Amino acid sequence: MWEFMNANKSLFVNKTEDGIVRALNGDYAFILESTLNEYYSQRNCQLTPLGGLLDPRGYGIGLPIGMHVRADVSKFSQTDFQTSSR
Share of the chain above pLDDT 70, in %: 88
9 plus 38 within the same structural domain? yes
| CA distance from start to end of the chain | 30
Among the residues of 1-86, which ranges form H helices? 2-7, 16-24, 34-43, 70-76, 82-84
Q: Could you list the residue range(s) of the whole structural domain that residue 6 is in?
A: 2-43
pLDDT digits (tens, 9 = 90+) for 62-75: 778 887 887 777 77
pLDDT tens, position by position, 36-65? 998 999 999 999 888 877 777 777 777 788
Q: How many domains does the chain have?
A: 2
Q: Is residue 11 part of a domain?
A: yes
- Residues 18-23 have a mean pLDDT of 95
Residue 66: inside a domain, yes or no?
yes
Q: Is residue 51 part of a domain?
A: no
